[in-house]
Structure 1
Amino acid sequence: MSLTGLPADNDADIARVSEALAMITPRWNVRILLALSGPPLRYSEIANSFSWLHNGQMHLKLRSLCDAGLVQRSEHDARNVTYGHTGRATSLLPVLPLIVSWAEQYLEPPEGEQSAIEQIEDSLTLLTRRHAAAILWTLKGRGETSGRALAARAIPTQQWTNIYPPLRQMVADGLVDTDGKGQPYRLSGAGEGLAPVLAALSTWSAGQPLTQAIRHPVWGQDRTADSGAWASHQARTPTTRTRPDPAVPTQPAQRPKWQDTDLFSHPAPARPAPALPSGGIRR
């Protein structure tokens, strides 16, 4: 069933990216994934890095990441259970610095020092607003568009005036521009600047190498690719709970350079405040 009034390949693309964002956006999920970017860890080792979370909360977080196919739980024996990345999670890590780069360029400078992980969390909050993906895809494909025409593509099954609350929020967030009430809407510079991030997220969620992101049919710089490559749904990697093969050594994933010193420098960040309609995107 189509979610938007856009072509089928765009509609499937939006659905996949929305699902990918739903996996990683919940609070602490990205931090847990980064904590697991090295060798597999015991539960106690993970919990020690997140002392502000209760055991019940951490169990739920790990279970949801396992169900999403991003974390693998391995039972070596009754007393030795470890958690580590799946291949899907490892291939996601290179997307995170793209989000940091976008945040550094377009988000309003914070009042104090802010870690890279907080940059990611602030950015993901903006991208997961209701109907945000459909609005971004529509404006990128159609350019300047009236609210009514935008609603016909982004939320075709709803009353067309329902487009205005999310649109006003995206204008306040700094992702969409308009010249005033009743005037057409268009992507702002910050909205256009999301191209590398959204192309990479789409490519990852479609199960393709990130080198293909440049050829994404909507957000890529080289749009000569067959757009059908993004049309089929990529199933999530199922969680495996088998004992690792001792004959195959486990190679720890390389940690992003920006992660080493600032991952947990701010254990309880404030969530982004509502943005102002001008002056950049407020955190």
Structure 2
Amino acid sequence: MATTAPPPATPNDLLGVTKTLDLLAPRWSVWVLMTVSSQPLRYAEFKPRLPWLADGQLHPRLRHLTNAGVIERTEYAPRHVTYGLTSRGAALLPVLSVIASWGDTYLEKGLVANKHTGEMEPERIAPAQNIDDTVALIAPRHATPILFSLQARGTATAKTLATEAMPGYGLTAVYKPLERLIDDGLVTASGSGGYQLTASGRALTPIFEAISAWATAPVSETDARRTRGPGAALSQNRSGPWATTPTRHPAPAVPAAASAARPALTTTPPDGPAWKSGDLFSHQIPAHPMSPAGGPRR
């Protein structure tokens, strides 16, 4: 099958997108990032906002985001430490808005009864959960390179995708990630051995553009000094077995007392919607069944 010209995306575009997705992919990283989006917090102040996270989960997320240069750890005294966004982290908030918007539009939702009318309507999903679930679809190894290639070509054979997105792996290795992307509703078989993006897969373009712009933007000297280590490894270069969509088990319900004691949190990212504490953290995170109509799954 004939294909179009080689993808116009540069290696830096793909590199920036995969590294940023690796930054956001560890579960709860987005939630931690958005928790400090309005003001710096002390460690103990995270607990009422993210009560389902144990210390063994919260501390690694803070360290991960701090090492990546998007959260700043400020020590005023041995027992007085705060965590807040760096300028690099603040610039990431509009990107999160783009990801949240795609998730709200394209990811399947269950139906719940309206407590006032009793009528069934799509359940309301927190922006942070939409971001988490969207990243879980596109962050696994080889997913983004395949999506990039199909975005540029429109239609491509498995052989072309194996050559462009998975060099050195051989033809047979491309079928597993392709199968996963098809199951997730982002890619479809076009017939005659070709593959192409679905409507929801094509709609990922603004996400990739926003991430690439953020990833390739100049980093201030101050933020650069905060970043330790080489950063996360690229998705397509991770070792180990194929990374499937992680299971999204419901978070424990927030205790009523903790919910009542939780301070208000309202953040208005540049060019993005306002995020409120109720939007992000006040409800139990539900499991999301596949919708009868199909489409991208959570």
Say if 2:200 is the partner of 1:190.
yes
Answer yes or no: is the 8 Å Cα contact 1:71–1:84 preserved in 2: yes
Q: Does 1:266 align with 2:283?
A: yes
Give the aligned residue type for 2:63: R
Q: Give the 5 Å matches for 1:146-165.
A: 146-165=157-176
Is structure 2 residue 31 aligned with structure 1 residue 31? yes
Task: Give the 3-state SS of the residue equivalent to 1:108 in structure 2.
Answer: coil
- State the alpha-carbon separation in 2 of the partners of residues 9 and 195 from structure 1: 12
1:99 paired to 2:99: yes
- Give distance in 2, aligned partners of 1:191 and 1:8: 18
Amino acid at match of 2:167: P
Structure 2 residue runs without a partner (length 5+): 1-5, 112-122, 229-265
Show the counterpart of 2:297. 282
Work out the CA distance in 2 between the residues paired with 1:50 and 1:39.
Answer: 15
Amino acid at match of 1:279: G
Pairwise CA distance, 1:177: 1.4
SS at match of 1:186: strand
Partner Cα distance (1:169, 1:81) in 2: 43
Q: Aligned with 2:81: secondary structure?
A: strand
Higher share in strand: 2
**1:74 matched to which residue of 2?**
74
Q: Determine the C-alpha separation between the residues in 1 that align with 2:103 and 2:20.
A: 19
Distance 1:139 1:127, change over 3 A: same
Per-residue displacement from partner, 1:135-181 (whole Å, max 9, x unpaired)?
A: 0111112221111111111111111110001001101111111135x
Local SS of the residue matching 1:281: coil
Amino acid of the residue matched to residue 122 of structure 1?
D
TM-score normalised to the size of structure 2?
Answer: 0.73
CA distance in 2, matches of 1:198, 1:206: 12
Question: What SS does the corresponding residue of 2:217 show, helix, strand or coil?
Answer: coil
Superposed displacement of residue 278, structure 1: 6.7
Residue 9 of structure 2 contacts residue 148 of structure 2 at CA under 8 Å; is this kept in 1? Answer: no
Residue 124 of structure 2 aligns to a residue whose secondary structure is: coil
Question: What amino acid is the match of 2:216?
Answer: A
Q: Is 2:188–2:197's contact at 8 Å kept on the other side of the alignment?
A: yes
Shift of 1:189: 0.8
1:190-209 pair list within 5 angstroms? 190-207=200-217
**2:179 is the counterpart of 1:168:** yes
With 169-178 and 50-59 compared, the bigger mean Cα shift is at: 50-59
Shift of 1:124: 0.7
Amino acid at match of 1:72: E
The match for 1:52 is 52
Matches of 2:107 and 2:184, distance apart in 1? 9
Per the normalisation by structure 1, the TM-score is: 0.76
Q: Contact (CA 8 Å) 2:104, 2:125: kept in 1 or not?
A: no
Conserved in 1, the CA contact under 8 Å of 2:184 and 2:296?
yes
Task: Give the Cα separation in 1 of the matches to 2:178 and 2:68.
Answer: 30
Quick one: structure 1 residues 240 and 10, their matched pair in 2 at CA, closer, same or farther if it must change by over 3 Å?
closer
Matched residue pairs, number? Answer: 240
Residue 179 of structure 1 pairs with residue 185 of structure 2:
no
- Maintained 8 Å contact 1:99/1:123: yes
Tell me, yes or no, if the aligned pair for 1:172 and 1:278 is still in contact at 8 Å.
no
Distance in 1, matches of 2:297 and 2:174, equals 22
Pick closer, same or farther for the CA change 1:253–1:265 going to 2, 3 Å. Answer: closer
SS in 1 for 2:209: helix
Structure 1 residue 78: Cα displacement: 2.1
Q: Is 1:238 matched up with 2:238?
A: no
State the distance in 2 between where 1:154 and 1:101 align.
Answer: 27
How far the C-alpha of 1:38 sits from its partner, in A, is: 1.4
Q: Is the 8 A contact 2:72 2:84 kept in 1?
A: yes
Distance 1:11 1:204, change over 3 A: same
Match of 1:114 in 2: 125
Structure 1 letter corresponding to 2:295: G
Q: Quote the residue 1:213 is aligned against.
A: none
Displacement after TM superposition at 1:9 (Å): 6.2
Closer, same or farther: CA 187–278 of 1 in aligned 2, 3 Å: farther
Label 1:279 to 1:131 Cα distance change in 2 as closer, same or farther (>3 A): same
User: Aligned partners of 2:21, 2:198: CA distance in 1, in Å?
Assistant: 21
